[in-house]
Amino acid sequence: MLYTEKVMDHFMNPRNVGEIENADGVGEVGNVKCGDIMRIYIKVEGDQIVDVKFKTFGCGSAIAASSVATELIMGKTIDEALALTNKQVIDELGGLPPVKVHCSVLAEQALKAAIYDYATKNALTFKGLEGYDPDEDHHDHDVVDIEF
């Protein structure tokens, strides 16, 4: 089967869908090739992410990836969330087909963008954001070919 049961589960029943009113940070990224867009909202107390929600206008893998990513960082510290990689998201999903790897990259990028937004608004710096350029990061680095 192309997709694991976990991918199907998170696609059919995505966790943490929606938006957070008065979010402390919002990150939106898009993939230029497939046109999919992902937005992640975070609520922060102290250095902890106490709530996270997402909206994805994209494919099923992007929905599953963002669902799993929100689960992985819920209750974590900002530093822990910044350490999240798209590989961890893929592992958590039990794998993604190669042409869908970029969907997990989108989840990692949207989360980083949301934390960047939070950091900028509060004049905070985080080690994991050093050298981060929100405009740079929006381009897909990992996409080799996409088939529809």
Residues near ligand FES (CB under 6 A): 31, 34, 36, 58-59, 61-62, 100, 102-103, 106
Q: Which is nearer to ligand FES, 16 or 61 (CB)?
A: 61
The residues carrying an active-site annotation are: 34, 103
Minimum Å gap between C-beta 125 and ligand FES is 30
Minimum Å gap between C-beta 23 and ligand FES is 22
Q: Which is nearer to ligand FES, 60 or 77 (CB)?
A: 60
Angle at 46 between CA 44 and CA 51, to 5 degrees: 25
Q: Which is nearer to ligand FES, 44 or 63 (CB)?
A: 63
Query: Measured between alpha carbons, how far is 103 from 36 in angstroms, rounded to an integer?
Result: 9
Q: What separation in angstroms does the CA of 7 have from each of 19, 61, 64?
A: 22, 7, 6
How are the residues of the chain apportioned to helix, strand and coil, as percentages rounded to the nearest 5? 45, 20, 35
Q: Which is nearer to ligand FES, 25 or 58 (CB)?
A: 58
Minimum Å gap between C-beta 147 and ligand FES is 10
Minimum Å gap between C-beta 37 and ligand FES is 9
Query: How many C-beta neighbours within 10 Å does residue 74 have?
Result: 16
Amino acid letter, 33 = K
Phi/psi of residue 64, nearest 5 degrees: -65, -40
Query: Measured between alpha carbons, how far is 41 from 49 in angstroms, rounded to an integer?
Result: 10
